[in-house]
Amino acid sequence: MKKITFFLLLTSAFVSAQKSTLEQKINSITKGKQATVGVSVLGFENNFKYSQNGDKRLAMMSVFKFHIACAALDLVDQGKLSLDQKIFIKKSDLYENTWSPYRVKHPEGNREATLNEIIDYTVALSDNNLCDLLIGLTGGTQAIQKFMNSKGIKDFQIKYSEHGMALNGWDSLYENYTTTSSTVNLLKKFYDGKLLSKKSTDYLMQIMLGTKTGANKIVEQLPKGTPAAHKTGSSGRKDDTLTIAENDMGIITLPSGKHYAIAIYVSNSKESETENCKIISDISKVVWDNFNK
């Protein structure tokens, strides 16, 4: 009994020292930066937890496309939608002044795409036009909010689509919010199969592993080939002086085969876009190093 107690005390002391070291390193990265930086980390197998500004409600931007995809795949699990079903995409669905790789490839629209393609473009390529189509297929932002509420996801709000944010101006970006703590807890529920069926969970994990955006964020300084199922978000710059959100979150697989969730949101930043992404990249690296001691 004494040996077990001693072991538990030793483990507790080690974890405490780990957190302290991690916090010092993260503080050295964020020190002097004109930005609010939210960071949360959750070890899946060892339940290691770290959070800084983890309960601050920050603008999500395209991170919400993960939540949207989950709500759509729940309808697939229910048999109300099918990944093979075809949706007609009109030219009028493809707004010009927004991020849309699909529109670049198919500028005239007026063609069919499968739900599978729409989800892939929405998540892996962060396409704003197809994201809004997916919101419509899911039943609107209220349906997505209801799905997340039903799964016990706290500190999450979605009010506007991508086009809705564009129409309603910069202040509306803050109406789609979450916290980094909520995000890592959501990712753990997702990984554990508490959001979707195993088939849909595996499917969305594969899409996130193929994310094409944010190569200079969470994944930049990880060893080449590290499995990182992630989703990025970025607001661009307001009046060329303020970045409302530069975000990345995801599930990282360690060489040991174990996993951790990480969410890093840089909010209301007066730093350059390059510096905002470097903050995310540098924090991701020290978290990786912390897990690989």
Q: Which domain holds residue 55?
A: 33-291
Tokens found for residue 41: 């980390």
In a domain, 209, yes or no: yes
Convert the pLDDT of each residue in 47-64 to its tens digit.
999 999 999 999 999 999
- Comparing CA positions, the residue from 147, 144, 49, 166 lying closest to residue 98 is 166
CATH number of 119's domain: 3.40.710.10
In a domain, 18, yes or no: no
pLDDT of residue 1: 59
In a domain, 19, yes or no: no
Instruction: Decide if 248 contacts 280 (C-beta within 8 A).
Output: yes
Q: Among 162, 181, 246, 267, which one carries the catalytic annotation?
A: 162
Residues 6+ apart with CB under 8 A from 12: none
In a domain, 171, yes or no: yes
Tokens found for residue 163: 């086009």
Q: How large is the average pLDDT for residues 140-155?
A: 98
pLDDT of residue 20: 81
pLDDT band per the 50, 70, 90 thresholds, residue 18 = confident
Domain count, the chain: 1
pLDDT of 8 above 60 = no
Query: DSSP strand E in 146-280: where?
Result: 156-157, 177-178, 228-234, 237-238, 242-253, 259-269
150 assigned to active site: no
Specify the range with the lowest mean pLDDT, choosing from 50-54, 152-156, 238-242. Answer: 238-242
Instruction: Decide if 90 contacts 63 (C-beta within 8 A).
Output: no
Q: How large is the average pLDDT for residues 209-219?
A: 97
In a domain, 85, yes or no: yes
What is the reported pTM?
A: 0.93
In a domain, 5, yes or no: no
162 assigned to active site: yes
pLDDT of 151 above 50 = yes
pLDDT of residue 10: 46
What number of other Cβ atoms are within 10 A of residue 142's Cβ?
Answer: 11
In a domain, 17, yes or no: no
Q: Among 62, 100, 234, 267, which one carries the catalytic annotation?
A: 62
Distance between CA atoms of residues 62 and 98, nearest Å = 12
pLDDT more than 90, % of the chain: 92
In a domain, 10, yes or no: no
DSSP H/E element including 19:
helix 2-30
- Position 15: which residue type? V
- For 191, phi and psi rounded to 5 degrees? -60, -35
Distance between CA atoms of residues 58 and 266, nearest Å = 9
